[in-house]
Structure 1
Amino acid sequence: MVHIRFEGRSYDVEENQLGITAGMSDKAIKERLANHFDVKGSRFESYVLDRRPSGDLIVRPEAVYG
């Protein structure tokens, strides 16, 4: 499962819906996400991909504190 936080909303999408496979680079995953949401790839440049031990992937904006 891919958990995505994008534009203030949360989405849960199966990897196969996005065309994501094990071992894909962060850049390739971000390109798939941009295609899925029909936005420019640069929209995901600052996003963090957190690969969980469970196999899930969390995609979220980079946290800024202060």
Structure 2
Amino acid sequence: MSADVLHLHRRMKALFKRSRDSLGSREMVKKLREEGFQIGRYKVRNLMKKLNLKVTQHVAYEVLQP
């Protein structure tokens, strides 16, 4: 693997962790492009699968009344 690919993997993992596992491929592409990466959504989607970055939907706390 080249240094550029490793740098991309590290940035993707860092962005995903900072988003608390909620950054999907579309938003990941936007963030990476803001940082200067030239990358498409399908490439990001495949890399997310390879890096095992799976989005989790956070559920709001629900108050149960007796």
Q: TM-score, structure 2 length as denominator?
A: 0.41
Structure holding more helix per residue: 2
Structure holding more strand per residue: 1
